[in-house]
Structure 1
Amino acid sequence: MARKRFGQHFLHDPGVIARIVSTLAPAHDDRLVEIGPGQGALTTPLLERVKQLSVIEIDRDLVAELNRRAETQPGLEVIEGDALRLDYAELARARGGPLRLVGNLPYNISSPLLFALLGYSQTITDMHFMLQKEVVDRMTAPPGGRDYGRLSVGIAARARAEHLFDVGPGAFSPPPKVMSAVVRLTPRPPAFAIDDIDLFDRMVTAAFSQRRKTLRNALRAYLSADEIVACDIEPTLRPERLAASDFARLSNAAIARTER
């Protein structure tokens, strides 16, 4: 039975499962890690394609069932724990190299988990996740649109995000009340300099905390209107008009301001 506190919706549609596996296209020696395997609908076809599969599950009842499966499937490694708190660098060292991640992520922790994972960009090759479609739309939105916001900018500064395909509620048990989508994330250093990623994130959050505010008002704690102009950015713009590279220039200027 799905547990509401874990945000569980178990994938069961064989067509969707096959499409995820095909999109992922795992090689036999890939260091594959599945987050939130649940009842193992995706686990089984993945094990047919790779030599070893690590799965991370927090639900003790599901872990017990997965451990029983591991007794007859030596390629299955079961890790009981919270995916938000796992040390993926250590897991990559144990597996012998960079990881590929896949999973149907619980919707209630998707954003914090994504940013936690992107903090391990040196040890993760790519990620293929099922998420709420609204979240994927925000992750992949270009500047200027309604879906563009703090999540769009934060992801763009850390990875390439690709919206692959949508999935209807009927593919899950119990069916969620929203559409889902599969996204591919490829961690990469940005094409622009970010001198302090924490400051960058704080300024992006401040800018989008009240979307109707202009940059002049939203970022007054960090930069004056003249300092914003010096970054070749109009201070009367609203934050949704700026690309991640624009926010990088602003946050770098804020550092320079404190050093003067």
Structure 2
Amino acid sequence: MKKNFNLFKPSKKFGQNFLIDKIVISNIVDNLNPKSGEVLLEIGPGFGSLTFPILKRIDKLYAVEIDKNLSEKLKNFFSPEKLTIFSENIIKFNFLKFYKKKAKRIRIFGNLPYNISVFLMIKLLKFSYLIEDMHFMFQKEVADRIQANPSEKSYGKLSIIIQYFFKVTLLLDISKESFSPIPKVNSSFIRLQPHVCSPYHVKDITMLSYVTNVAFSQRRKIVKHSLSKLFSEKKLCDLGINPLLRAENISISEYCRLTEYLVKKNFLIPK
């Protein structure tokens, strides 16, 4: 890949940092474990550090690449029957239309730029039912937030909302020296699998999002105060929530319990 890398110029506009460490690449492909017959969609193949080794294992791969220069160059290496590249912004990509054409759940993977990673993850929550699994490289800070547990420093609204839909597994921590150009921070590679039997349930995910947003907007306050406009201290106790805890100490199941109370109460989210 070093030979091929000379053909490509990283773009600051798209926040491109290309993975070049062969050992890391091999570990990622092994963890992904692609098989022919599966529908695999790569986000941001770049100069193909994962594309090339994966296509040695399977017959067909789909990819979304916003940089038209990169997508055109990658097309020179493979026939359309082997690699289909959509030259567009992944934020605007129609996952539902793609899924309906394939009639099979999608495996999604890629190295996500920091500037779109959180926004894209929130978008993908809407399509969790059509996803087999996802394997993403994030900046370590974002990965820490996604996989954090209650009472950990990184635990917050993002942890709760993503873990509500997906089981999160850390697979690899990756040094910034594994990329070119070298970014300022390290990265992590994680797996996200939709829950087969979800441990969580709310009737209104928008309400869960609202409750967690209110709680974490004042995360240093105890919930007796941060959630005071939604719950009295007595109601928190009735719902099994210690009013002296902070937002970061409340579990996902407990946030679901708070959410369900508001749903049953027909509480209207302020506009």
Normalised by the length of structure 2, the TM-score is 0.91
Which residue identity lines up with residue 216 of structure 1 in the other structure?
A: K
Q: Percent identity of the aligned residues?
A: 37
Aligned residue type for 1:110:
S
Match of 2:107 in 1: 100
Alignment-derived partner of residue 228 in structure 2? 220
1:111 partner amino acid? V
Residues 227, 253 of structure 1: 8 Å contact kept: no
Matched to 1:119, the amino acid is K
Moved more, 147-156 or 102-111: 147-156
Which consecutive residues of structure 2, in runs of 5 or more, have no partner in the other structure?
1-8
Distance 2:163 2:81 in 1: 38
Correspondent of 1:53 among 53, 57, 61: 61
| Residues 236-251 of structure 1: pairs in structure 2 closer than 5 A | 236-251=244-259
What corresponds to 1:42 in structure 2?
A: 50
Matched, 1:165 2:169: no
Q: What does the per-residue CA deviation read over 1:234-260, in whole Å, with 9 as the maximum and x for residues that have no partner? A: 222101111111101111111222369
Matching residue of 1:208? 216
C-alpha distance in 1 between matches for 2:147 and 2:179? 24
Q: Which residues of 2 match residues 57-68 of structure 1 at below 5 A? A: 57-68=65-76
Distance 2:97 2:228 in 1: 41
Q: Which residue in 2 is equivalent to 1:127?
A: 134
Q: TM-score, normalised by structure 1?
A: 0.94
Equivalent position to 1:176, from 162, 183, 198: 183
Residue 154 of structure 1: CA displacement? 1.3
| Contact 1:223 1:254 survives alignment (8 Å) | no
**Counterpart in the other structure of 2:150:** 143
Separation in 2, partners of 1:7, 1:259: 42
* Offset at residue 43 of structure 1 (A): 0.6
Note closer, same or farther for the CA distance 1:259–1:130 as it changes in structure 2 (3 Å cut).
closer
Aligned-partner residue type, residue 34 of structure 2: P
Counterpart for residue 194 of structure 2: 187
Q: How many residues align?
A: 259
Contact 1:9 1:176 in 2 (8 A): yes
Q: Which runs of 5+ in 1 are unaligned?
A: none
Helix, strand or coil at the partner of 1:50 = coil
Matched with 1:83 is 90
Whether the 8 Å CA contact 1:34–1:55 is kept in 2: the answer is yes
Conserved? CA contact 1:137–1:163, under 8 Å: no
How far off is 1:67 after superposition?
3.0
Question: Residues of 1 paired with 2:131 and 2:157: CA distance?
Answer: 23
Aligned-pair CA distance for 1:50: 1.5
Q: Which runs of 4+ in 1 moved over 6 A?
A: none
| Residue 11 of structure 1, aligned match among 9, 19, 24 | 19
- 3-state secondary structure, aligned to 2:190: strand
How much is the aligned-residue C-alpha RMSD, in angstroms? 1.6
Q: What is the rounded CA distance, in whole Å, between the counterparts of 2:70 and 2:17 in structure 1?
A: 13
Q: What's the offset of the Cα at 1:223?
A: 2.2
2:3 corresponds to: none
Match of 1:123, as an amino acid? L
Query: CA offset at residue 23 of structure 1?
Result: 0.5
